[in-house]
Amino acid sequence: MQGLMQRTPLLLSSLITHAAANHAGTEIVSQTVEGPIARSTWGEVAERAGKLAGALRRLGVGEGDRVATLAWNTSRHLELYFGVTGIGAVLHTVNPRLFLPQIEYMLRHAEDSYVFFDIGFAEIIAEVAPNVPSLRGLIALTDRAHMPSLALPNLLCYEDLLGAESDAHPWPTLDENAASILCYTSGTTGNPKGVLYSHRALLLHSFCAAAADGLAVSCLDSGLLVVPLFHANAWGVPFAAAMVGAKLVLPGPRLDGASLFSLMQTERCTFAAGVPTVWFGFFDYIDRNRAALDLTTIRLDRVLCGGSAAPRALIKRFDEEFGAFLLHAWGMTETSPIATLGRLLPKHIGLDREARYDIQAKQGRPVYGVEIRVVDAEGRPLPRDGRSVGALMVRGPWVTAGYFKGEGGVVIDAEHWFNTGDVATMDEDGYVTLTDRAKDIIKSGGEWISSIELENAAVGHPDVLEAAAIGVAHPKWVERPLLLIRCKEGAVLDKATMLDFLADKVARWWLPDDVIVVEELPHTATGKLSKVTLRKAYANHLAP
């Protein structure tokens, strides 16, 4: 017997329609690429997304056509999130920090019809556009006064396009399983692979992101969205914010500590979302300017943090400085991305702070919607004992079923499990602790050393800003750990001090064979430590 409820499809357009109807006056604040702070509202974003939809149709964009963005977090990019997907076209968010050949590869592979770009990326566009045959036009995300002077073919101005449109039309009814957003993973080997999200997947994911045991976001919140709109749907926060009518604060190209602090202060942000690296810079700014800053003006209540392991030291700092809860998340582009979240259980209430930080430092428990298990080399589930290390497998309605155009072949098994390539343990409460990316594990004498654990221990030192642990070839042990550290400004550290500091924090045989202080650590385009670069650079460091 069938139920008798309405079969309203789960579409992203329903979010912006709801935000416009019920939270029209709530602000969307952007640090623009042009310079000033711009103030918009959910109502204006909805109206302009509607005009954008009209403009796209006029440009000949239809259902299933790919439309790329190369842009920072601003209200214009947010308008594209809704305007492009709302008409059934596919928003292809491109990471502008990637190398030119990768950007070109992705635009060609996606067969994008148009690219909407921030004026700061005009040179990238000028380089790659001639090599992308599918491109019909380029749209600069700015007004007439700030149009790039570069000679670009079929160049249009975003504000002119919107200005030419009159009233918006109702959003069309689409198949909820239709594609909405396309985002390529920045795999370290081979070409990037496209993850193609459906409306249904992202809508269900929004409920999870907004929920009380998720980010617990509401219309009373003001959220600083540091995680880029070009990376894994900005962790679903824009959609969750539209769902509940939360205010959003978009930092544009300015991700430095000073700019983030200032936005957090003036916009009275109650939550924030960003990768650990961003927060290292944020606290470094606070440390260097403490005397001039009034930290009591910060209203921060919680911070969604993931993408790489949030060290215990960072969790502690957010708590001690602002009383803010760092909500540790694990996920990947392939999982929309939220898969686990580090919320506490009733039995943790009343724990002392230090014990609580230990729980928060784990990657969290499975959210409803994502099933998770850790398996051995034969694919057999391992016990949930917090000790058994194995491959982390996921499945669920917002987990990928395969990459765009079949790249990478079949990526799920007969029971739909997707192998994440991460190695982890799971404890009896379901908390996952990520040991490593499979390829980053340090294999010493047949045993495994967790690079993440070494790094977390190292950044616990008050003089360390950032740390990277890598496995380096060793004549006896196959690999041994090498620790690279970046110190805070003015701090001086040496190997002996660091080893001494680590001595009671990790097993004796885990202690790095060498510790090197470096000026900079290399990062990937998504803000993760680039271990590949480091492994290459230090390949022979422990050679006899």
- The encoded tokens of residue 325 equal 């809860």
**CB distance 432 to 329 below 8 Å:** no
Total Cβ atoms within 10 A of residue 445: 12
Q: Does 434 bind ligand AMP (CB under 6 A)?
A: yes
Q: Does 437 bind ligand AMP (CB under 6 A)?
A: yes
Q: Does 112 bind ligand AMP (CB under 6 A)?
A: no
User: Out of 34, 159, 371, 448, which one is annotated catalytic?
Assistant: 448
For ligand AMP, the binding residues in 296-315 under the rule CB under 6 A are 306-309
CB of 189 to ligand AMP, least distance (A): 14
For ligand AMP, the binding residues in 63-82 under the rule CB under 6 A are none
Region from 9-17, 122-130, 214-222, 322-330 binding ligand AMP, contact rule CB under 6 A? 322-330
Rounded to whole angstroms, the Cα distance separating 145 from 170 reads 31
With respect to ligand AMP, which residue has the nearer C-beta, 114 or 418?
Answer: 418
Q: Is 443 a catalytic residue?
A: yes
CB of 187 to ligand AMP, least distance (A): 9
Binding to ligand AMP by CB under 6 A, coded x per residue (else -) over 465-504, reads ----------------------------------------
**CB distance 53 to 87 below 8 Å:** yes
Rounded to whole angstroms, the Cα distance separating 283 from 274 reads 13
Displacement of CA 387 from its chain's centroid (Å) = 28
Q: Which of 226, 332, 484, 498 binds ligand AMP (CB under 6 A)?
A: 332
CB of 191 to ligand AMP, least distance (A): 15
With respect to ligand AMP, which residue has the nearer C-beta, 216 or 339?
Answer: 339
Q: Which of 422, 453, 455, 479 binds ligand AMP (CB under 6 A)?
A: 422
Q: Is 447 a catalytic residue?
A: no
Cα dihedral 387, 392, 393, 394 sign: positive
CB of 136 to ligand AMP, least distance (A): 30
Q: Does 85 bind ligand AMP (CB under 6 A)?
A: no
| Residues 6 or more apart whose Cβ sits within 8 Å of residue 22 | 245
CB of 307 to ligand AMP, least distance (A): 5
Binding to ligand AMP by CB under 6 A, coded x per residue (else -) over 202-241, reads ------------------------------x---------
CB of 244 to ligand AMP, least distance (A): 24
> Tokens 């060609």 label which residue?
108
C-alpha dist (Å) from residue 229 to 78, 81, 162? 8, 9, 21
- DSSP per-residue string spanning 309-353: ---HHHHHHHHHHH--EEEEEEE-GGGSSEEEE-PPPGGGTT--H
Q: Does 41 bind ligand AMP (CB under 6 A)?
A: no
Binding to ligand AMP by CB under 6 A, coded x per residue (else -) over 346-365, reads -----------------x--
User: Out of 267, 334, 466, 479, which one is annotated catalytic?
Assistant: 334
**CB distance 339 to 389 below 8 Å:** no
CB of 40 to ligand AMP, least distance (A): 28
| Residues 6 or more apart whose Cβ sits within 8 Å of residue 81 | 12, 49, 91, 181, 229, 238, 239
User: Out of 27, 34, 111, 185, which one is annotated catalytic?
Assistant: 185
For ligand AMP, the binding residues in 172-191 under the rule CB under 6 A are 185-186
Rounded to whole angstroms, the Cα distance separating 21 from 28 reads 15
- DSSP per-residue string spanning 9-34: ---THHHHHHHHHH-TT-EEEEE-SS
With respect to ligand AMP, which residue has the nearer C-beta, 62 or 187?
Answer: 187
Asked, as a colleague might, if the bond just before 337 is cis with ω within 30 of 0, I would say: yes
CB of 445 to ligand AMP, least distance (A): 24
Rounded to whole angstroms, the Cα distance separating 158 from 67 reads 14
Number of residues in contact with ligand AMP, rule: CB under 6 A? 20
AA letter at 228: P
Rounded to whole angstroms, the Cα distance separating 86 from 76 reads 15
With respect to ligand AMP, which residue has the nearer C-beta, 129 or 372?
Answer: 372
> Where in the sequence numbering do the catalytic residues fall?
185, 334, 443, 448
**Footprint of ligand AMP (CB under 6 A):** 185-186, 232, 306-309, 328-333, 337, 363, 420, 422, 434, 437, 526
